[in-house]
Amino acid sequence: MPRVICVANQKGGVGKTTTAINLAACLAVAGRRTLLVDLDPQCNATSGLGRQPLAHHPLVAGLPLSDAVLRVDVPNLELLPGSRSFRDVEALARDNGTYASLLRSHLQNGMAGYDYVLIDCPPSVGQLTRTALAASHEVLMPIQCEYFAMEGLAQMIEVIRQVMIERDRQLQFGGILLTMYDPRLELTLEVEAEVREFFGEIVFQTVIPRDVLCAEAPSHGLPVIAYAPRARSTRAYVELCMEVLESE
């Protein structure tokens, strides 16, 4: 059985996709057979690894997911690309509970044979995010070190709680990750203090620094560990990976 980690936060631009790509790549480099699932209709994880979104997605059609899985330029890492047609899924699953639960089991069937599965969620608490949470063991929530970082998290946490109860606690809080961290900024340190005070030990020790190389890597279709192995953000994602591996 793979360990399934869902990367979620209803806010956009907090580093979900960057974290999903780079944590997946580091796990793969560490020798774990890893699948990255792009569940966002914007398909940034797909384009960030230099691949094209699918016009017709097997998840929508109920077909085997393995046919759509692609190799990428990192050993042990595979990608299930996203699709703009996920917008239809969002609507269908909202109106049809049977479809929503089929979606989850269908997603889970596609995960066999991997050590790790990372799911990149859209910036919402809609049906796609719920499906991802319901198919996961852990949720990793990136938080950007900026003003209003904690604003709007209550709704996200409520949805996570609901899924935890529905899934009889098969879903756990994998951790909060501070992203775009800049220790020269007073605000970063304030946000960090507030988040650590509020969430306690579920906050990862590792923080991800703001790093231009990290932002550039997707335009080359690569995770930062392949694009810039010595970058500060590479070191940070390797450290995050080690924290994740510690709890194997």
Q: What is the dihedral of CA 147, 152, 157, 158, to 10 degrees?
A: 160
With CB cut-offs between 5 and 8 Å by kind, which of ligand ADP, Mg ion, none does residue 13 bind? ligand ADP
Other beta carbons within 10 angstroms of residue 66's beta carbon come to 15
- Residues in contact with ligand ADP, shown as a per-residue x/- string from 147 to 176 under the rule CB under 6 A: ------------------------------
Single-letter code of the amino acid located at 25: A
Strand runs (DSSP E) across 93-219, as ranges? 116-120, 138-144, 172-181, 203-209
| CA dist., res. 189 & res. 68, Å (int) | 43
Task: Look up residue 232 and give its two tokens.
Answer: 């500060």
| Residue placing its CB nearer to ligand ADP in the complex, 58 or 117 | 117
User: Quick check: 233 binds ligand ADP (CB under 6 A)?
Assistant: yes
Instruction: Give yes or no for a contact between 132 and 104, defined as CB atoms under 8 angstroms apart.
Output: no
DSSP state of 54: P
User: Quick check: 108 binds Mg ion (CB under 5 A)?
Assistant: no
| CA dist., res. 153 & res. 84, Å (int) | 26
Residues 28-87 that bind Mg ion (CB under 5 A): 44
Residue position matching structure tokens 């932002």: 215
Quote the least distance from Cβ 180 to Mg ion, whole Å: 14
Quote the least distance from Cβ 236 to ligand ADP, whole Å: 8
User: Quick check: 127 binds ligand ADP (CB under 6 A)?
Assistant: no
With CB cut-offs between 5 and 8 Å by kind, which of ligand ADP, Mg ion, none does residue 214 bind? ligand ADP
User: Quick check: 214 binds ligand ADP (CB under 6 A)?
Assistant: yes
Choose which of 10, 34, 44, 124 interacts with ligand ADP (CB under 6 A): 44
Kindly list the residues in this chain that would bind ligand ADP in the complex (CB under 6 A): 12-18, 44, 123, 179-180, 208, 210-211, 214-215, 233
